[in-house]
Structure 1
Amino acid sequence: MEIVAAADGSSLGNPGPAGWAWVTAEGAWQAGGWPRGTNNQGELMAVLDLLRATEKFDASLRILCDSQYVINSVTKWMPGWKRRGWKKSDGKPVQNRELLEQIDAALAGREVSFEWVRGHSGHDLNERADDYARAVATAYQQGVEPETGPGLGGGRAEGAARTESADANGSAHAGDTAQNALADADAAGRASRPASTHSERTAHAVPADHNAALDAALFDLDDDSFAADASAAAVAELRRLEVDSTGREHPEFERVGAELTGTPEFVRVSLLGSGVALVRSQIAGRERTSVWQLTDGGDFQRWLLRLRHQS
């Protein structure tokens, strides 16, 4: 049998209050987070906890993920990192090494594939995982206890109790037993929804469809030099900021043409390089083009608006 699940992460501030979550096709789910973490850490922890939660089931695992950083890290970059002693091609240390090493170990002996899905596009499992992850991040932001979910079969997943820091550490069942456990968690999961391969394992990327493959090509990098900003999370953040950019203007911001009022209809977000993005949208049939730059915000980076042009 095959277990299909979406894994996602969320960070309010990046870094800031952070959450992670996974949701199976049958509706089972688990979530957790930290008072302070990054979006990439959340994405990685969601995958790690999903691997741990399903390790005793006699089944292959297909992970739906909107993070090209995670997919490329596991299926493309990790072998080279390991050969170089967990250093990138430029000699710099690999970020989030602790989580990546744990994922590498958890993949041993497993048949696991990764499928890229477009974030915030109405994909049910991805949207649900995002909802749960964001709910945890919001709970930490508000200083309240987050909901962590029933896990598989109603119990807490192993990794869920180990999420106070971003570098958490941590007899086979027959296929029909796994299916029953997933099915048993379905009702509870839906009711509580919030408003490197080697000889011992398989871990590979699977294109979701033709359009997704074209979009994924934008992030087809040979290393993670741009991983912090060249991700689906960055695209989603820029789309959000295009609607409400209050307080996010660069000191050298320039406006060309009169400001258009109304809700933008997004056309495209293009990441032009490390920390530079072009956003094109439409308002009442008129085109708006914005240039955004990833800048230092003190103890974190954030996107600031450099130029906006209305036609």
Structure 2
Amino acid sequence: MPKTDELQETAVIYTDGACSGNPGPGGWGVYFKWGDHEKELYGAEKVTTNNRMELTAAIMALESLKRPMKVDLFTDSSYVRNGILSWIAGWKRNGWKNAKKEPVKNADLWRRLDQAAAEHDVEWHWVRGHSGDPGNERADRLAVKGRDEAAGAAGRARR
């Protein structure tokens, strides 16, 4: 990771995931602000879980940055925040096994998130979902848009 004093701009990023059923059609959304710039990203999977969509949103946010940056990343997922700040060190030490010696769920995405976060100086923040925070609400709308598109595609595929 680059030295913090080498990074000039701070990206403010809000991420969210949405899923209908668990598993079911899901979407992820990302809202960025840095300097005078704003950007939105979203995507979907036909069959997934909410936790996978929450992780995917954070991954896509960090992987989309074109250079190392300071990042204030806001998520309404305690799973994502606790995982990256607390649990991941133990999982890596234990060969991606949890405390019960079972394989870590979503290890593929946790590895990818760990690698993406290492490229930046990330401060992880938790924000209560659906509480009126404008950035979180915007990311949620994007995640729901992705989920709805996935649900529509899944519905069309079944016909």
| Equivalent residue in structure 2 for 1:36, among 47, 60, 80 | 47
> Would you identify which runs of 4 or more consecutive aligned residues in structure 1 move more than 2 Å?
56-59
**Structure 2 Cα separation of the partners of residues 134 and 116 of structure 1:** 19
1:122 corresponds to which residue? 132
2:11 corresponds to which residue? 3
| Equivalent residue in structure 2 for 1:52, among 63, 74, 95 | 63
Q: How far 1:58 moved relative to its partner?
A: 4.5
1:19 corresponds to which residue? 27
Q: How far 1:108 moved relative to its partner?
A: 2.1
How much is the aligned-residue C-alpha RMSD, in angstroms?
1.3
Counterpart contact for 2:19–2:26, Cα < 8 Å: yes
2:110 is the counterpart of 1:100: yes
Give TM-score scaled by structure 1 length: 0.45
**Structure 1 Cα separation of the partners of residues 109 and 81 of structure 2:** 14
Over the matched positions of the two proteins, sequence identity in percent amounts to 37
Higher relative helix content = 2
Give TM-score scaled by structure 2 length: 0.86
Q: Report 1 or 2 for greater relative contact order, CA contacts < 8 Å, sequence distance ≥ 6.
A: 2
**Structure 2 Cα separation of the partners of residues 43 and 109 of structure 1:** 19
2:6 corresponds to which residue? none
Unaligned runs of 5+ in 1: 145-311
2:145 corresponds to which residue? 135
* 1:237-252 paired onto structure 2 within 5 Å: none
Partner SS state of residue 125, structure 1: helix
Unaligned runs of 5+ in 2: 1-8, 155-159
**Structure 2 Cα separation of the partners of residues 7 and 124 of structure 1:** 12
Residue identity matched to 1:60: K
- Structure showing greater radius of gyration is 1
- Count, aligned residues: 143
**Structure 1 Cα separation of the partners of residues 118 and 124 of structure 2:** 15
Counterpart contact for 2:23–2:48, Cα < 8 Å: yes
Residue identity matched to 1:3: A
Output one character per residue of 1:182-227: Cα deviation in whole Å (capped at 9) or x when no partner.
xxxxxxxxxxxxxxxxxxxxxxxxxxxxxxxxxxxxxxxxxxxxxx
Residue identity matched to 2:137: E
| Equivalent residue in structure 1 for 2:101, among 91, 97, 100 | 91
